[in-house]
Structure 1
Amino acid sequence: MTIPLADASVPTLVARTTQISYDGELTALVPDDIAPADIVCWVRGGDGLVGWGRAASITTSGEERFSAATQWWDDVAASAVVRTDLELPGTGPVAFGTFAFSRRSEQSSTLVVPEVIVGRRDGRSWVTVISTADRLPGTEPQIRAHATRANGELTVTTGALSRAQWAEAVAESVRRIQHGDLDKVVMARDVVVRSATAIDPRRLLGRLAESYSNTWTFAVDGMVGATPEMLLRREKGLVTSRVLAGTIRRTGDDDHDLGLAAGLARSSKDLEEHEYAVRSVAEALRPHCSSMNLPESPFVLHLPNVMHLATDVTAVLRDGASSLGLAAALHPSAAVCGTPTDMAAEVIHELEQMDRGRYAGPVGWLDAEGDGEWGIALRSGMLDHEDPCAIRVFAGCGIVAGSVPEAELAESDAKLLPMRQALGND
């Protein structure tokens, strides 16, 4: 079902980008009086984009959620008035997006154009101020760091399924795979984290960016997280995608972890899962790209809490598709859904017994040229727009014929850890 578009008019945007001198933490720049839904973030390794306010937005859902948003942004970008001191991806008007995993989701998808964006790349920083032609901005924003608020005492409750129920759902998915119904399915679970005081998303973003600096820390319309998986980057005709599938939890002992990494690289179960994911990305990109490079074997990506099998796919764009259009073509990949995709999606709908919302959907940004970066909303949570003290946190695991429910449950615990730790105050 598709709900009517909300705020879908095509405004004339006026954007002014100015180079500035700022080398501090980007996530600290968001003022303390900004509503959580009006904070946007895309940061990795200290560089990226942070913004606040809402100059324009579109809300979509259903089967047409990507195409409606893409058409709106094409129209907005074509009519925008842009003045800039820099010609870099992410300067000028930028839209940040978060999209529901399923066309059947009751949660909407959205593109948001902030009123203020601060960016940094390769040692160069800038601020972009965006307004509509009928409502020009007043005073220039003050670019300075702001203090954040600690959360209150946290409580965690189960979401749609208890731990035992989710393990049984995994066992049922394994039975269906072994029966030949499908090759792989990604099963997700959720928990609800509640703070005794209102959750400060700025503090959450700062802690994620500090602890997981080699992931992409993001926030759009209350969807917050730190994803290790780059769905795709489009920049000046070059398309790259990082595929993650196959995971093992770290122990904290470096020597032991090196042994675990070697075992992960030889694991037939994890290599099979990874192969499905890489193949699905290559097949989705092929109609839009040429000169595709697929490495013969994955590498092991080391994160603070887990290690993943990873493959970087690169290709040359040949049809002019925007980064959002490419993200739509790639979604859902085998890394977040399964193989075959349609069958895996039906199993997810039946066995997870929850609406994923925007979890495992594309999240990221694109500029007026169509360049941009889109990740998969993993290691993430959705702030409750009605209850400022609550956030729904998600994790998922790829299930194949050799999966063991207890091991998958432990893996999901490891994937929930980044958000749970970042929400704490220790």
Structure 2
Amino acid sequence: MALKVIIREVIVSDQLELAGSSVFLRNDQQIIGTGRAIQIAARGKNRVAELAAGWKEILATAEIDNQSGISSAGLIALTSITFSENSSQDSVLYVPMITKVYRGEVGFEVIIEGPKTLENDLQPVLGSFQDGSFTSDAFRSAVGQSLEAFSATDLEKVVIGRDLLMPIDSRPNLAIPLKRLHDRYPDCWTYAVGDVFGASPELLLRAQKGEVSARVLAGTAGRGTDPDVDRAISEGLAHSQKNRHEHEFAVNSMVQALQPFCDFVQADSEPFSLALPDLWHLATDVKGELRDGVTLLDAIAELHPTAAVAGTPTQLAELLIDELEPFDRAGYAGPVGWLSSNGDGELAIALRGGIIEPNQIRAIAGCGIVSESDPEAELAETELKFKAVRYAFAAESL
């Protein structure tokens, strides 16, 4: 059955209505969806291609009545794709029943005609996270095993994640944690799509009028409390052999993966230090122009997973991750974001957050392990990265 879609202009609101919503927020761009009019789910190696084919079928039959007068307005879908093809969880793409899109002073609402069923019984949840299935000692041991693998195989980098757990009684209302994340990290992509949530500093790929762009992050250091110390930390990160080594793998992986889909690909010649409230990251911006007929999901299918979340070579890294990590990443470290019927879209990497599981929330933070890595330093890096989710769910804001 064809979707009957009405798009109309709305007044931009200063109050975010996040209870029970799917969201993708950054600065003054806010996408807020309620309910699900239609959903596609897929698993396995071809999961992205199946979602892409399903999205094309939706667009082929959708009857879109754009009453907004905004030429860039279109039907919006939200998607969350699992990190691994071996995940026991679904990758999903769904069209909300109602989607509000705010961009600066411009706002529009996408309404799917038909009965509306919304989730109103969600329970607010705040609290603290405790060690998960990967204890500190187990994580340090896994880093050590990764270092041994560099000597025994062709592996050059692997990203190992550690988890924390918080018990819950029912499906959680994430309105408070999401608002905290968006307020504290406005330059990050705050997301809640399917079963994943967080505030990611890393854009995987954006498509706008045929052009694509990405921001690659790899290499991390904690912020200093004193301005001079903070500046010294930033400069130290930029000159750290270990961090630049890790970063180079991630950038090369992105460029090589994009080249088959683009007429040209261009990356910054040198990384820059990106400041977040808790962390410094080494960052590089990558840009390109999509070939005719190539969609955002076509590129994502080949691009994911990048070296930033898996390692180099990818297949060896994924095998080691499956061997060492005692949990299913599900949508963590996978692509998450939105697509528009006009061909535009934006997918971040689902980081600095976690996944909603039956009776618990699992927060995950990962580190890029290279030959210069130290197990104790990598453990400390996970604690830095957990600051965001601990803050978001704290019973009292920190």
Please classify the TM superposition score into its range, dividing by the shorter chain length: over 0.9
Moved more, 77-86 or 61-70: 77-86
Structure 1 residues 332 and 197: CA distance shift in structure 2, 3 A: closer
User: 1:296 is paired with a residue of what secondary structure?
Assistant: coil
Percent sequence identity over aligned pairs: 38
Q: What per-residue deviation string (whole Å, max 9, x for no partner) do you get for residues 218-275 of structure 1?
A: 1111311110000000010110011000111113322211100001111111111111
Q: Which residue of 1 aligns with 2:369?
A: 399
Distance in 1 of aligned mates of 2:116 and 2:207: 34
Distance in 2 of aligned mates of 1:138 and 1:112: 15
Q: Which residue of 1 aligns with 2:232?
A: 259
Match of 1:23 among 3, 9, 13: 13
Match of 1:221 among 194, 211, 225: 194
Q: Which residue of 2 aligns with 1:112?
A: 94
The one-letter code sitting in structure 2 at the alignment partner of 1:282 is: V
Q: Is the 8 A contact 1:83 1:92 kept in 2?
A: no
Distance in 2 of aligned mates of 1:13 and 1:195: 35
* 2:34 is aligned with 1:46: no
* 2:39 is aligned with 1:71: no
Aligned counterparts, 1:14-413, within 5 A: 14-25=4-15, 28-30=16-18, 32=19, 34=20, 39-84=21-66, 85-87=68-70, 89=72, 91-131=73-113, 136=114, 151-152=125-126, 154-194=127-167, 199-384=172-357, 386-387=358-359, 390-413=360-383
Q: Is the 8 A contact 2:12 2:105 kept in 1?
A: no
The one-letter code sitting in structure 1 at the alignment partner of 2:89 is: Q
The one-letter code sitting in structure 1 at the alignment partner of 2:222 is: R
- TM score, norm. by length of structure 1: 0.88
User: 2:51 is paired with a residue of what secondary structure?
Assistant: helix
Distance in 2 of aligned mates of 1:80 and 1:197: 35
Q: What per-residue deviation string (whole Å, max 9, x for no partner) do you get for residues 273-306 of structure 1?
A: 1111010111111001022211110011100111
Q: Which residue of 2 aligns with 1:7?
A: none
* Unaligned runs of at least 5 residues, structure 2: none
Q: What per-residue deviation string (whole Å, max 9, x for no partner) do you get for residues 41-98 of structure 1?
A: 1110131211111100011101121111100000101111111224455x33211011
User: 1:286 is paired with a residue of what secondary structure?
Assistant: helix
Structure 1 residues 402 and 296: CA distance shift in structure 2, 3 A: same
**By how many angstroms is 1:329 displaced?**
1.7
Query: What do you get for the CA RMSD once the two structures are aligned?
Result: 2.1
Moved more, 290-299 or 69-78: 290-299
Q: Which residue of 2 aligns with 1:416?
A: 386
The one-letter code sitting in structure 2 at the alignment partner of 1:94 is: I
- TM score, norm. by length of structure 2: 0.94
* Unaligned runs of at least 5 residues, structure 1: 1-10
Distance in 1 of aligned mates of 2:278 and 2:224: 8
Distance in 1 of aligned mates of 2:153 and 2:233: 30
**By how many angstroms is 1:122 displaced?**
3.0
Distance in 1 of aligned mates of 2:151 and 2:228: 35
Q: Is the 8 A contact 1:225 1:381 kept in 2?
A: yes
Structure 1 residues 14 and 310: CA distance shift in structure 2, 3 A: same
